[in-house]
Amino acid sequence: MGECNYYGKAKFKNNADAIEGLERIKEFFEEGVRAHEWWQDHRNVKYRSTFWQEFEKKFPIVADYLKTQTNVWDTDHNNSLAGLLSFTTESIERKDGCRIVQFYGEVWHCADWDAIIEYLKYKFAAIDVGWISEEDIRPFDCINV
């Protein structure tokens, strides 16, 4: 399974919101990493209702996030979560006095962070959020000579 680095930024209205946003994003991403590991170990659970009940108890924030996605919650738990649980905790940071929270790390190379980004706006009051995968950029094009 291929992996690559993903990078994201979340901008907040003010410094206080960014401080709170940092903690909430950390909590969300940490729970997301645990949810991904649990999902991988429980993909073959026979009854989907059993899977989703257990999932919601263990991962309430991620369950809330997944419920914002069309045709995911309470569906085929074996495959429907592919790409939606590509969280990272390698680096989630904010510089003092800055309204921007940055996060990056290695995740599945086919992950699509659009859903995560939308959830950061919807639930964590980020006013602008974006992401990019290292597969989307050519580093040498960023060097001016």
**What are the residue ranges spanned by the domains of the chain?**
3-142
The position carrying tokens 């929270």 is 101
pLDDT of the residue at 71: 81
Q: Is the pLDDT of residue 108 over 70?
A: yes
Express each pLDDT in 3-62 by its tens digit: 999 999 999 999 999 999 999 999 999 999 999 999 999 988 888 888 999 999 999 999
Q: Which two tokens stand for residue 121?
A: 């706006």
Residue 139 DSSP code: G
pLDDT of the residue at 1: 60
Q: Is the pLDDT of residue 140 over 90?
A: no
Q: Is the pLDDT of residue 79 over 90?
A: no
Mapping DSSP to helix (H, G, I), strand (E, B) and coil, where does residue 140 land? Answer: helix
The CA-based angle 129-132-137, given to 5 degrees, is: 145
